[in-house]
Amino acid sequence: MKTKLLILLLAGGGLLCACKGRGTAGYEAVNNGSSSADSVKTDSTVTSQPKLVKTAGIRFKVKNVQQTEEHIGALATGINGMVMHHQMGATVERSLDVRISDDSVMRVTSFHTSADITVKIPSSKLEEFMNQVSHMCIYVNDRSMDITDKSFDYLSAQLKLKSRTELVNQQKRGKVIIKKTEDVLNLKDDMIDQQIGNRQIDDAVKNSVVTLSFYQSNTINKEIIANDDPSAYNLPFFKRLGMAIENGWAVFVDVIIGVASLWAFIIAGIGVWLIFRYYKGRVLVKS
State pLDDT tens for residues 202-243.
999 999 999 999 999 999 999 998 887 776 666 677 777 888
Beta bridge partners of 140: 60
Rg over CA atoms, the chain: 51
% of the chain beyond a pLDDT of 90:
39
pLDDT at 45 over 70: no
- Do residues 84 and 173 lie in contact, with contact meaning Cβ atoms separated by under 8 Å? no
d(CA 9, CA 69): 94
User: How does strand 52-61 pair with strand 207-215?
Assistant: parallel
Tell me what pLDDT residue 21 has: 39
pLDDT at 14 over 70: no
d(CA 209, CA 121): 7
d(CA 45, CA 181): 37
Tell me what pLDDT residue 285 has: 64
- Average pLDDT (176-191) is 77
Pick the more confident residue, 98 or 172: 98
pLDDT at 2 over 80: no
